[in-house]
Amino acid sequence: MGNTSKYLRPVYDPNTNVIVFIGFSLLQIVAIDISQQTFTANAQITLSWDVKIWNVTDQFPSKITVPASKVWTPDIGILNGVNTLANPNWQKIFPVEIRFEPRHTRMIWFIQDVFTVSCDIDMTWFPIDQQTCSIKIGSVSKEIDQVDIHTNDQHVCTNKIHSSTEFILVDKAVNLTTHQRAFYKTELRQAVVQFDIQRNPHYYYANIVVPCMLLSAMSLMSLCLPPESGEKISLQITILLSYVVFLLLVSDITPHTSTVSILTWYLISIIGVSFTALLGTIFSLWLFHHTDESRMPTWLKYFLFKVLGCLLCSKNAMSQTIHFISSPKDGHAMSHLVTMMKTTNKCKHDMRQANCNDFSYGENVLKNIFLLLDELLRVKYKSQEESAAVKLVSMEWYRASILIDHLLFRTVLVTLIFINAGLTVLFFAGRQPDINNLNSSCHE
């Protein structure tokens, strides 16, 4: 051991490469930073290689531990690391275990660290997304003819993994790939440890989706308020602003890219439904508070009471307004006139029986009184007829506003059920991890 240098590869022939076996053990999924597009994991890397230049005798112990700075170690690093390729403190912290065997000497180096690597995160299905991130392990500067990378097996050890509350490990694999250096036509070997990670959506469902569902139910119930309450528009504006607040919360935790997540589309959809309900409510209240005495246009009456009436199963909507207020009967006025005629005839008969000299004068007075009373009655009933016509027109506008409210309620109800039920199915129909594959055994 004393004749070897830590700067030279432990081989007899300089043209012979050193085969380094890599084992990977995942301990914990720390975080996935969406905005920085990084994946952080706590893991242990096991490096092992053979040294054949030492003459092992029976006087050697079975194994010893020496500082990594005293022997040759492969320049292994994280090729897709965010900060640095290799941590210089590894040689200071983690020693190398030397196992002496009859024909060769096995060097084992255990490295444990928190690795942060770059990862392309697709936010289309956030928060029910499944991401694929990888940790690329290989020699930083040595080519294949100097240092070759092999793996102990094709599995990642997860026996010591600590469960994460936010992420679920769905699948894992280790693959060997070869890549060329950027500025040199040399090939380097690397081990790619790949993870399929699924986000646990229950937090987002309980803190964002469920409150939005309750707000959508409140928006639906606001359509049931009577027009006389005067609080329909203010309530719906408040609900619309609450949706905007949730949309801002989601935009803060997602990266500012062109990709729009499914949660953002959900919030935009229910905001659109709420905005449509607000516009429909404004139109309905305009119909209800219509103060113009002009009658409803024929085309609008046909569309509301015929077309919408058929769609909403309210075919008798128009007939309900026609007979709502009955006009005053002419028989009532005629009874007054008949009574006055009888009174006049009786007066004439009494005057004739009394041989009254002023009979002609009295008859003229009674006629004038009769004509005056008749004119007063006509003016009175004409005023009542005009008032009844105004009420009839107002009732038509009122029935129109009620039909608009019914249409809004049914449309919003069906749309919200479709949106909320679809998102709920997507949240709880995610891929389940393969337990047999995850609980793979670990090999040194």
Two structure tokens written together for 358: 């002023």
Q: Which of 126, 138, 380 is nearest to 259 (CA)?
A: 126
Q: State the average pLDDT for the chain.
A: 76
| Distance from C-alpha of 78 to C-alpha of 94, rounded to nearest angstrom | 17
Asked whether residue 373 carries a pLDDT value surpassing 60, the answer given is yes
Two structure tokens written together for 259: 């990709």
| Distance from C-alpha of 177 to C-alpha of 187, rounded to nearest angstrom | 10
Most confident by average pLDDT, 7-11, 213-217, 399-403: 213-217
Q: What pLDDT is recorded for position 353?
A: 54
Counting other chains too, the contacts that 374-381 makes at CB distance below 8 Å and 24 or more residues apart are 374/337, 374/340, 377/333, 377/336, 377/337, 378/333, 381/328, 381/333
Q: Find the mean pLDDT for residues 58-85.
A: 82
Global pTM reads 0.68
Q: What pLDDT is recorded for position 83?
A: 79
Q: What pLDDT is recorded for position 258?
A: 72
Question: pLDDT digits over 29-46, tens only?
Answer: 988 888 788 999 999 999
Asked whether residue 368 carries a pLDDT value surpassing 80, the answer given is no
Q: What pLDDT is recorded for position 378?
A: 64
Two structure tokens written together for 191: 């081990």
Q: What pLDDT is recorded for position 383?
A: 58
Question: pLDDT digits over 176-193, tens only?
Answer: 776 665 555 667 788 899
What letter would DSSP give residue 315? T
Q: Find the mean pLDDT for residues 291-300.
A: 68
Q: What pLDDT is recorded for position 118?
A: 92
Asked whether residue 168 carries a pLDDT value surpassing 50, the answer given is yes
Asked whether residue 340 carries a pLDDT value surpassing 60, the answer given is no
Q: What pLDDT is recorded for position 330?
A: 43
Q: Find the mean pLDDT for residues 410-415.
A: 91
Of 305 and 413, the one with more pLDDT:
413
Task: Please give the share of the chain, as a percent, with pLDDT higher than 90.
Answer: 15
Given pLDDT bands bounded at 50, 70 and 90, which one contains residue 432? low
**Residue 22, SS3?**
strand
Q: Is residue 250 a contact partner of residue 127, using CB atoms and an 8 Å limit?
A: no
Phi-psi label, residue 312: left if phi above 0, alpha if psi -120 to 50, beta otherwise: alpha
| Distance from C-alpha of 282 to C-alpha of 288, rounded to nearest angstrom | 10
Counting other chains too, the contacts that 51-59 makes at CB distance below 8 Å and 24 or more residues apart are 51/10, 51/104, 51/105, 51/106, 51/107, 52/10, 52/11, 52/12, 52/104, 52/105, 53/4, 53/10, 53/11, 53/12, 54/1, 54/4, 54/105, 56/100, 56/101, 56/102, 56/103, 56/104, 56/105
Of 98 and 84, the one with more pLDDT:
98
Two structure tokens written together for 83: 């900060």
> How many other C-beta atoms can be found within 10 angstroms of the C-beta atom of residue 57?
8
Most confident by average pLDDT, 80-84, 277-281, 287-291, 367-371: 277-281
Q: What pLDDT is recorded for position 200?
A: 84
Q: What pLDDT is recorded for position 352?
A: 52
Instruction: Please report how the helices 262-288 and 232-253 are oriented relative to each other, as an axis angle in degrees rounded to 10.
Output: 170
Given pLDDT bands bounded at 50, 70 and 90, which one contains residue 367? low
Q: What pLDDT is recorded for position 328?
A: 43
Asked whether residue 272 carries a pLDDT value surpassing 80, the answer given is yes
Q: What pLDDT is recorded for position 276?
A: 92
Given pLDDT bands bounded at 50, 70 and 90, which one contains residue 319? very low
Asked whether residue 317 carries a pLDDT value surpassing 70, the answer given is no
Query: Burial code of 415-426, b = ≥16 C-beta within 10 A, e = fewer?
Result: bbeebbeebeee
Question: pLDDT digits over 102-137, tens only?
Answer: 777 888 999 999 999 999 888 888 888 888 999 998
Q: What pLDDT is recorded for position 327?
A: 39
Q: What pLDDT is recorded for position 407?
A: 85
Range with the lowest mean pLDDT among 23-37, 163-177, 401-415? 163-177
